[in-house]
Structure 1
């Protein structure tokens, strides 16, 4: 065999090997290794940020859907039965989950991503100053909306990374790397939100929302939220509580009234009419992300959009 022929043969072998390596690498990067289920859209985004392409993720309560009133179907049970890990918020948020796990015969790993946070009690706190309009729906011992404070979302992310490492030890270094990078983004987001509120005197940081879903945000960022309904979107306010809240809006000159993406707008519209205040032209996102083409398709985008909307409303912008 001539030198030219040997060179052609060697090049062909090298090219074939390179193609094999490239093809194998692409397959390793894109083929999911773990089948995970997340209970609702906000948690689903956090899981996807950590899991990347190694995780095939099913989200039970998708963007624009309300986990408070979710009713699982046989199709949901089938997806749960096939999963290796089911991740939920906990704190009483997914009251339907244990029933769904039993129906599905699920035997895999169950993870509560809120483990390790300091939960707030479910009772309405003193900052509502008499606007206790909640009729007493039982939502458990704690307020479940812990993700509304970015430091709590960081705890969620660490719990997610640990869970994925348990079911996929080979990918653990990748999950930990992605979690660290995402936590850096969340830390920057937390600082950004704090800076946004610094421009507003604490006495003016008052916001009316449809239901009581922002108490963790309030504690983290020094904002007072008032809501005619309790922590669930299916809570119903009393006429007396609504009247008290109207008087407080007028007395304290509260300008920021918001309808949330998961609640009936009629109550806030009634409050606005009676108090003589115009509702904000954009919603707040409390329990679900927006659709991909909306303003809050990810957790970080949601927290930015909410903060921007509230601070602008208070400043009259």
Structure 2
């Protein structure tokens, strides 16, 4: 299965700042961002973010100016997440709700849409990328005759750092509407974060360019890296599942994927840091290819202390894992600190 859509995304101008060396263990991120003089958390605006990438970006931009509740914790599979009573209460109390959209977190989206609360509800993925990649979401059955093929938006937009910049701008704009007094704080933090993502985008392209051309092929657990592949010059050769991990791979799909791997000469396939990797490892064994040592952070940030426990860390770790797995060399990311 080949996805080779080339799109150019404009990015926001950002301020130049001092350099910081970040290697392939990028879990640490500078916290030296602009803060307001907020004292009482009881008087701060209440914001809910559904998944960990949105939560990380909101924290970096808002700092101590909001009461932020993050619903789906790092390391949890977003696609199959079941909301808790606490989630419902947080949604009902929020003044601003930041969620992904494009059916990324389906059960939470149902609750958010059904809520009568007067909160501002923003589907960040949909606003940031109004023209998403449209993919054939294959619901594999034991025979092609009974397979269902549906064209739907791919929700995993943040794997392209340029889209990350767009997400930063959407969040900054919404926070400013919620708390205009902190306009300067949000503008400064968003500019610094966007600048770092711009540098990360260029660094990622440089790492992928070290992979031999014939080996720039990806096979993953589910179709979550299409934006990454399109932005950085890779081809998606196959995936065990469709756009959601909720789909259960069949024996037919396993057999098909083994054949695809053998036919395309993919040197390494990649598991995910969240979820069960038993089936994809079975595929690798039958296809006689390697499995990358480090799982990719795709639907969620990593748990605290892991390589992918921030958005920047997620993208940096994934790039190093993919680059080295496909025969390239991953150098250190020369990022920048976020100064006051």
CA distance in 1, matches of 2:219, 2:100: 25
Check conservation: 2:137, 2:152, Cα contact below 8 A: no
CA drift of 1:98 comes to: 4.0
Pairwise CA RMSD of aligned residues?
A: 2.3
Q: Deviations over 1:107-147 (max 9, x none)?
A: 1111121214230013169xxxxxx9x95486x72011111
Partner of 1:63: helix, strand, or coil?
coil
Structure 1 gap ranges (5+): 1-25, 126-131
Residue 249 (structure 2) pairs with residue 237 (structure 1)? yes
2:294 to 276, 282, 285: 282
Residue 118 (structure 2) pairs with residue 110 (structure 1)? no
Q: Structure 1 or 2: larger helix share?
A: 1
1:214 to 225, 228, 239: 225
2:95 maps to: 84
Q: Deviations over 1:16-63 (max 9, x none)?
A: xxxxxxxxxx99245442211101011111111111111221111110
Residue 184 (structure 2) pairs with residue 173 (structure 1)? yes
CA distance in 1, matches of 2:315, 2:285: 28
1:41 maps to: 52
Q: Tell me which of the two structures has the higher relative contact order, counting C-alpha pairs closer than 8 angstroms and 6 or more residues apart.
A: 2
User: Which of the two has higher C-alpha Rg?
Assistant: 1
CA distance in 2, matches of 1:198, 1:95: 36
Say if 1:251 and 1:222 are closer, same or farther in 2 by CA, change over 3 A: same
2:37 maps to: 28
2:134 maps to: 121
CA distance in 2, matches of 1:240, 1:54: 52
1:141 maps to: 152
Residue 110 (structure 2) pairs with residue 99 (structure 1)? yes
Partner of 2:50: helix, strand, or coil?
strand
Say if 1:78 and 1:124 are closer, same or farther in 2 by CA, change over 3 A: closer
CA distance in 2, matches of 1:116, 1:277: 37
CA distance in 2, matches of 1:213, 1:36: 27
Residue 74 (structure 2) pairs with residue 68 (structure 1)? no
Say if 1:278 and 1:200 are closer, same or farther in 2 by CA, change over 3 A: closer
Residue 170 (structure 2) pairs with residue 159 (structure 1)? yes
CA distance in 1, matches of 2:159, 2:62: 21
**What is the TM-score when the length of structure 2 is the normalising length?**
0.78
1:15 maps to: none
**What is the TM-score when the length of structure 1 is the normalising length?**
0.83
1:301 to 313, 316, 321: 313
CA drift of 1:256 comes to: 1.8
CA drift of 1:252 comes to: 2.8
